Amino acid sequence: MTCITVAALQLALTSDIQQNIERVSQLIEDAAKKGAQIILPPELFEGPYFCATEDETLFALAKPVDEHPAVRAMQKLAKALKVTIPTSFFEKDGPHYYNSLAFISSEGEIKGVYRKSHIPDGPGYEEKFYFRPGNTGFKIWDCYGIKIGIGICWDQWYPETARAMMLMGAELLFFPTAIGSEPHDPDLDTSRLWRRAMIGHAVSNVVPVIASNRIGQEGLINFYGHSFIADQRGDLVAQFGKEESGVLIATFDIDQIRQHRAAFGFFRDRRPEFYHRLSEDR
């Protein structure tokens, strides 16, 4: 039996990076005490979600992966607690800027960087001003004898993201997120859609999905939380509402999930020879 315990964090974040690191660190410590081995903070937890407006001075927030204070703090914490922490951060690579994730192992080592593939652009979420589309392609990571896939926020809306990582061997899917209200339409609540999109990935790939979001009012956007952990059937085994701050925990038997995935036959019955339209840019 191959069991793994995972955690998703939900919290409000401030303009003080050190305070945010301390808040996230405390929740990670709580999760580790409860047995979590892989612990997921929200997207860009280093500070407020700055992409709501276009401000060229904010490019100064970006740092190379080996210099970023949030990444370095999570490395130290991961090593001390012997846990894995997928860490979202604002990356500077020469003249280029990315919305990235450092995969930090339980030894505190950066095993690699994933750069967000899908970059949104709309009222309140003007990320194309700040980020280049990622050039890493989707990635999976070996962790405790299990392969995990990680997308970042807008990536999670695309079934291609989940299926590509599954075809690469992923056995758990993680999505750090920063999502909330829509400034152009105060009556539009996407929290249900957001969950359903990822629950669909869980069902159609027979894989657990772990999603972490922030909460609270930040300028134009009220972040709505609703972080969750869904099992391979798409059932919610742990969830928050729009205001709770804390840690979600779940344990999965990966061997059993592998059997369920094989029995469903989704990967046996695929017909990739008919899927060429998916890769056409029109």
Q: Identify the active-site residue in 43, 46, 127, 218.
A: 43
Rg value, the chain, Cα: 18
Q: Strand, helix or coil at 7?
A: strand
Please say if 34 is a catalytic residue.
no
Active-site annotation holder among 46, 153, 171, 218: 153
257 φ, ψ (degrees, to nearest 5): -65, -40
- From 130, 114, 131, 243, select the one nearest 180 (Cα to Cα): 243
> Cα separation of 47 and 118, whole Å?
21
Catalytic residue (choose from 91, 92, 116, 218): 116
Is 51 designated active site? no
Could you tell me the sign of the dihedral formed by the alpha carbons of 218, 220, 224, 227, in that order?
A: negative
Rounded to whole angstroms, how far apart are CA atoms 161 and 166?
Answer: 9
Active site residue 63: no
Residues annotated as catalytic are 43, 116, 153
